[in-house]
Amino acid sequence: MGASISGLCTNAGEYAGEGIGHFFGAMRIDAFRTADEFKQHMDNWIQRFRSAKTIEGETNVLIPGDPEREMEIIRMKEGIPLLDVVAKDLEMVGQVFGVTIT
């Protein structure tokens, strides 16, 4: 469903890599079950995956958000790399608005 909404409905293309489309959705968990019950089941799900046996050559099982949390730590320490052309564009915009980009 997400692919059809974020891809086809936004005219981003039929296949991955053709364009960029986004879809953001929200659901009221309490429409399905109590929030406490949901949190307990989510905690159980996370614990089950964290304790699962990994495939050969891997040290842990990843769950949604793990790669992003790891990258956040790196980016906070090392900064966000920018292409030279992007950095130059930002510097030009900064000059227009009197903001120094360092």
Q: Quickly state the pLDDT bin for 84 (edges 50, 70, 90).
A: very high
> What is the mean pLDDT of the segment spanning 45-57?
94
Of 68 and 10, the structure prediction assigns the larger pLDDT to: 68
Mean pLDDT of 41-52: 94
Q: Is the dihedral of CA 77, 78, 81, 84 positive or negative?
A: positive
In Å, how far are 75, 79, 80, 83, 101 from 89, measured between CA atoms?
A: 21, 18, 16, 10, 11
